[in-house]
Amino acid sequence: MRNSSENFTYSGLAARGIFGFGTIGQLEDEVAALGVTKVLVLSTPDQHDQAEALSVQLGALSGGLYSKAAMHTPVEVTQDALHVYSSAGADGVVAIGGGSTIGLGKAIALRTACPQLVVPTTYAGSEMTSILGQTEHGEKTTLKTLDVLPETVIYDVDFTLSLPPLMSVTSGINAIAHAVEAMYAENANSVLSLMAAEGIGALTKALPLIIANPHDRQARYDALYGAWLCAICLGSGGVALHHKLCHVLGGSFDLPHAQTHTIILPHALAYNAPAIGEALARINAAMATQDAAGALYDIAKNAGATMALKDLGMPEAGIEKAAQIALKNPYYNPRPLEETSIRTLIEAAWHGSRPTC
């Protein structure tokens, strides 16, 4: 379905994606195709064993492991990893994991111009973007440059089978948020909307099935496929109020990434609903519902996700602070930001109430 008679520009980012079950079997060929001779394999401490298995699989192409990737890409960790990278004589990286590990690979690529091969194991979507967030002395800065865009992404559904069900749902809703906002961002267009609708539909069908049975291979396949499409939306599309609020809340109160997205998305969507008629109709159709905001809330709540910011540890006094920061330097948003309504939105998310479109 096209947006009605628009002129538009679509700027896709060039990344190679390999998708399916067992696709990790193509790792050596794909690393060699990047023209590198030795890679450093990256992971978090939790995924050390998976990184080690990839290193063994790579044989002479592996220069070893670095398994200390951490949330929000601390610069000290990057510097430590760079030291290991040079000692190993590496000229490329393989990152296996979620946004934290992918962030470390991007940070190394930024400083060395090395090629990156990424094996995503969550649905967060960093692998398809040219965005890198880093923290130094407790302060987070974000940059956007094609220098950090991974060259090759191997989506292997098998690696997502171990993602705990609740984390699958919060990570999946984090992905859905990228597609929802791409539908009504400033540069929204028919090409992205197609991918966004397909991504939202695949994920919203798959997530309850994963909760019912985390080993449901078809649901895992659908969820990762949806996450890839949503990641493209983040990489090639724009964002609006939802992402602004999540950045403000994450940055000001150190709230966890995917859980914060899960709480905010239904409220941000309900806020924008009166201003996004055509996009809302597509989101509702993709989810087979009349009320996407309420339906997203229900998927998360039924999975046992935390639905109130207060339960993530945000103080009540933070509501006013967050509203003020969100209103300063706002991102583009289809509905103008009204101070009272924004405060009401954050208050509702703090209490964990169920919004409707």
Q: Which residues of the chain form contacts with ligand NAD (CB under 6 A)?
A: 44, 46-47, 71-72, 97-101, 103, 121-122, 124-126, 129, 131-133, 159-160, 162-163, 171, 257-258
Minimum CB separation of residue 126 from ligand NAD in Å reads: 3
How far is 331 from 250, CA to CA, in rounded Å? 16
β-strand partners of 74? 135
Minimum CB separation of residue 162 from ligand NAD in Å reads: 4
Which residue, 67 or 284, has its beta carbon nearer to ligand NAD? 67
- Residue whose Cβ sits closest to ligand NAD: 99
Minimum CB separation of residue 336 from ligand NAD in Å reads: 27
Minimum CB separation of residue 353 from ligand NAD in Å reads: 25
Which residue, 183 or 273, has its beta carbon nearer to ligand NAD? 183
Q: Is the dihedral of CA 21, 27, 29, 31 positive or negative?
A: positive
Minimum CB separation of residue 355 from ligand NAD in Å reads: 23
The pair of structure tokens assigned to 246 is 């999540």
Which residue, 106 or 267, has its beta carbon nearer to ligand NAD? 106
Taking the CA of residue 145 as centre, how many other CA atoms within 13 Å lie in the half-sphere pointing to its CB? Answer: 11
The pair of structure tokens assigned to 184 is 């009504």
Which residue, 86 or 142, has its beta carbon nearer to ligand NAD? 142
How far is residue 3 CA from its own chain's centroid?
25
Which residue, 124 or 176, has its beta carbon nearer to ligand NAD? 124
Which residue, 166 or 357, has its beta carbon nearer to ligand NAD? 166
Minimum CB separation of residue 46 from ligand NAD in Å reads: 4
The pair of structure tokens assigned to 215 is 């080993």
Which residue, 15 or 273, has its beta carbon nearer to ligand NAD? 15
Phi first, then psi: give them for residue 37, nearest 5 degrees: -110, -25
Which residue, 58 or 232, has its beta carbon nearer to ligand NAD? 232
Minimum CB separation of residue 233 from ligand NAD in Å reads: 11
Minimum CB separation of residue 250 from ligand NAD in Å reads: 7
